[in-house]
Structure 1
Amino acid sequence: MRIELKRLRTLLNSKADNVMNLETRRLQLQTAIKERRSEISIHQSTLRQQLRDEEGKTNEISAQLHDRITKIEKLKKRYEIVNISMAPPEGVSEEETSQTYYVIKAAQEKEELQREGDELDAKNRKAEQELLALQNTLRIINSGNNQTKQSFKKLPDSSDEISRLEELEEQSRHLMDKVRTKRRKVEDMKNDLKVMSY
């Protein structure tokens, strides 16, 4: 009887230890999941802000591109008007009038193109600096996401919380893709502006 009682007591203590270990493990998992969820939330907020910034840059460059197109159209019309008015007066040879006109006109056009080129170069340099800063930020976020993925591997695959965290991770990747798309659009528009400056 005593032996049986001792055996049961030992078994009960073992079960109690197992329950305690499981409870400790559960609390650890809950803490880890909470931390990962917080990290992903921060990453998503950062990406959303970057996306808003990229949209702002895209709108700004779109406005510049539209302004450039408008200026080109004005220059075309001005050129047409000048061509019409270039005919020399009666009794004056074309050679006498054209040389002076072209010298003055060429100097004016050169000065205007130089000024516009300087402005465009300054805007392009600013855009390149902003894109470089964004690339550095994305590298930091990618590094954080890789650390988060490594932490996920330590948690049980069947956990409902893990499924939720994986969904959040997918949302973060989607936001990063949108940021990259916006960045490519900015680059394309910069190239368009360069072409128009020639």
Structure 2
Amino acid sequence: DDAYIRAKFNDSMEPFLLQLKKRFTMYEAGYFLPLGSKHSMRIYELLKMREDISILRMTVEELRDILGVTDSYEYFSQLKAHVIENARKEIREKTDIHFTYDVEREGRTAKRIKFFIHQGEEERPEKPKMEDRTEAPNIDVMDVFLSDLTQEQIDALSQERLDKLHERAAQQAEQEVPNRSKSVKQSVTLQRMKTLWDNLQ
């Protein structure tokens, strides 16, 4: 009755253990456990991973694979109605976040889905109708750039490095299109950020 086992983590594990809070998604069980659908649970986890940047973009096939429905819901309309919409309603009713989303298509085929993550009662502004839009919308360059990175890449990218990348890209855009509108400069800045990032990899 007085026997015991003594164990300790190897010292080489220290860097990983010290980054547990950063590397793993944190959420309260009180929000997660009431979710009745496994699909709602998985989507909630995915959204919490990107809560800081408010956007999660992935292909429809990636979403199918993550949710384990690669052989179910043959048509996207079925996936949307039975999985995405059900999760959207349940997550809004039972958790600390909710989401809206856009479907990006190639022709009539749904290829990618972009989730917009909201906290509390925050809502994403309704898109203006095309006939009401008098100028190109502003682009949140940082958010759009980060939305194309993996979670691992985001974790490895410090705020200082991100700011410097954006600053350098903005300078290049100003030199290339000095007399163009703000939205054009933002678009060029985004493209230059992606180019600079690809060159660093």
TM-score, structure 1 normalization: 0.23
In our comparison, the structure showing a higher alpha carbon Rg is 1
